[in-house]
C-alpha cells in the first residue's frame, strides 16, 4: 500500500503546484500510515527530482522518455495506471488542473477507483474514505464517500499549504513499455505565454470588470499588478467585449482560481463570477456601488471610483516598496 502522486513538469521543471501536491500527499499517507511515492513522466534532471523530497516524497519514480513531451491522455493514463499497480497504490493524487482533469477520469476506469475532484482539505475520514469537496460551483461543499478500494483525488490548486518535510528520498528509474500506436493525438503547434505571471499560479490577482468602463483605462490596473507581482484577470463581459484576452476571464465558465489575494475592481460580484474566485483567501472589492454583491464576498472594500482610487493605490504600493 502507498500513496502515489503524479506531477507533471514544465520543460523539465516542477512548479509550486507540484510541491503542494506532494505536501498534501504526504499528509494523506500519514493518515493512512503508509509511504508517499511521486511519479514523474518525461525528462527531468535528478536535482530537480530531488526537490520533491523536501516536501515528503520518500520514493521518486522517474520514467524518462521523449514520448512524454506532449500530453496524450491514453498514453499518460496507461503509464500512471501501470506504476500505480506496481506500487500497489491505494490513493492516487493528481492536480485539479487541465492535465489532472484529463487524466484522472481515465485512470479511474483503469484502476476501478472512484474520484473526488477538486478536494481542498485532508480527508474527513479514512475508513470509510470521506473527502470534502467543492460542489455547486463553490456555493456548497459535499462530503463524498469513495467506495472503491483505490481512491483518486485531484487537489484544487493553491488550496493546501506547502510544508517542508525533509526525508531521504530515493530516485528510482523505471521503464515502461508502451505501445507507440496508443498515441492518437498529434500536436502541431504550441503557443505559450511568456514573461507573464500565470493566472492559475499567481498568489495575487488584480482583476477588472465592466466598471473599468473602457479598454483604455487598464493602464493603472496593470501597473498595480506589476508592482505586486500579480497576474491580471477580468470578468466575462470584459473578455467577451474583447477589452482583455480570453485567458484572463475568471468565473464559472472561465478560470477557477484561488490566489491569496484577489482584488476585484469594478466587478459587481455575480454568482457566476464568484464561482471562480470565492476560494481566494482574501478578496478586496473596489466599487462605486456600496450594495454590490462583491462586498459580501470581500474582507476589505473601498466604495469609490476606480479611476480615482487605482492611481492612489499605485502610489501607495510604490511607497510601501521604497521603504
Which of residues 10 and 172 has its CB atom nearest to other proteins in the complex?
10
Which C-beta is closer to ligand FAD: that of 38 or that of 306? 306
Query: Which of the stretches 30-38, 138-146, 185-193, 263-271 binds ligand FAD when contact is defined by CB under 6 A?
Result: 263-271
Residue with grid cell 495506471, as numbered in its chain? 81
Q: How far is the CB of 101 from ligand FAD (least distance, A)?
A: 17
Decide: residue 105, CB within 10 A, 0-12 exposed, 13-18 middle, 19+ buried. middle
Does the protein bind ligand FAD through residue 251 (CB under 6 A)? yes
Nearest to 263 by CA among 304, 225, 290, 237: 225
**Torsion of Cα atoms, 170 then 149 then 92 then 280, to 10°:** -130
Based on the shown chain and the rule CB under 6 A, indicate whether residue 53 belongs to the binding site for ligand FAD: no
Residue with cell 476501478: 112
- Residue 280 makes contact with ligand FAD by CB under 6 A: no
Euclidean distance between the first and the last CA atom of the chain, given in angstroms as a whole number: 53
Cis peptide before 198 (omega within 30 of 0): no
Q: Does 220 bind ligand FAD (CB under 6 A)?
A: no
By beta-carbon proximity to other proteins, the closer residue of 171 and 176 is: 176
- Stretches 34-42, 86-94, 138-146, 212-220: which one binds other proteins (CB under 8 A)? 138-146
53, interface contact from ligand FAD, other proteins, none, CB < 5-8 Å by kind: none
Backbone angles phi, psi at 12, to 5 degrees: 85, 5
64 binds other proteins (CB under 8 A): no
Residue among 270 and 317 whose Cβ is closer to ligand FAD: 270
Compute the C-alpha angle 123/199/19, nearest 5°. Answer: 40
Find which of other proteins, ligand FAD, none residue 289 binds, CB within 5 to 8 Å per kind: ligand FAD
The verdict on 88 binding other proteins (CB under 8 A) reads no
d(CA 237, CA 268): 11
Amino acid at each position: 500500500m502507498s500513496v502515489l502522486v503524479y506531477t507533471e513538469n514544465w520543460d523539465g521543471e516542477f512548479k509550486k503546484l507540484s510541491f503542494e501536491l506532494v505536501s498534501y500527499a504526504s499528509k494523506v499517507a500519514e493518515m493512512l500510515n503508509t509511504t508517499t511515492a511521486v511519479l514523474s513522466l518525461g525528462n527531468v534532471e535528478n536535482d530537480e527530482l530531488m526537490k520533491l523530497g523536501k516536501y515528503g516524497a520518500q520514493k521518486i519514480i522517474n520514467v524518462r522518455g521523449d514520448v512524454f513531451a506532449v500530453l496524450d491522455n491514453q498514453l499518460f493514463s496507461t503509464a500512471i495506471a501501470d506504476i500505480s499497480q506496481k506500487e500497489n497504490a491505494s490513493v492516487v493524487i493528481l492536480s485539479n488542473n487541465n492535465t489532472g482533469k484529463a487524466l484522472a477520469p481515465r485512470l479511474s476506469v483503469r484502476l476501478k477507483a472512484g474520484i473526488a475532484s477538486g478536494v481542498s482539505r485532508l480527508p474527513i475520514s479514512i475508513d470509510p474514505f470521506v473527502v470534502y469537496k467543492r460542489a455547486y460551483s463553490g456555493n456548497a461543499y459535499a462530503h463524498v464517500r469513495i467506495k472503491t478500494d483505490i481512491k483518486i483525488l485531484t487537489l484544487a490548486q493553491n488550496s493546501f499549504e506547502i510544508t517542508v518535510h525533509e526525508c531521504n528520498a530515493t530516485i528510482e528509474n523505471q521503464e515502461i513499455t508502451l505501445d507507440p500506436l496508443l498515441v492518437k493525438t498529434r500536436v502541431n503547434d504550441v503557443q505559450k505565454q511568456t514573461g507573464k505571471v500565470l493566472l492559475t499560479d499567481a498568489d495575487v490577482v488584480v482583476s477588472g470588470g465592466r466598471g473599468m468602463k473602457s479598454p483604455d483605462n487598464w493602464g493603472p490596473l496593470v501597473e498595480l499588478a506589476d508592482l505586486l507581482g500579480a497576474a491580471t484577470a477580468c470578468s466575462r463581459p470584459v473578455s467577451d467585449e474583447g477589452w482583455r484576452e480570453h485567458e484572463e476571464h475568471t468565473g464559472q465558465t472561465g478560470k477557477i482560481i484561488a490566489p491569496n489575494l484577489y482584488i476585484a475592481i469594478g466587478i459587481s460580484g455575480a454568482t457566476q463570477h464568484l464561482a471562480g474566485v470565492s476560494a481566494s483567501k482574501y478578496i478586496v472589492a473596489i466599487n462605486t456601488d456600496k450594495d454590490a454583491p462583491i462586498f459580501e464576498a470581500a474582507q476589505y472594500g473601498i466604495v469609490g471610483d476606480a479611476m480615482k482610487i487605482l492611481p492612489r493605490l499605485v502610489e501607495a504600493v510604490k511607497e510601501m516598496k521604497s521603504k
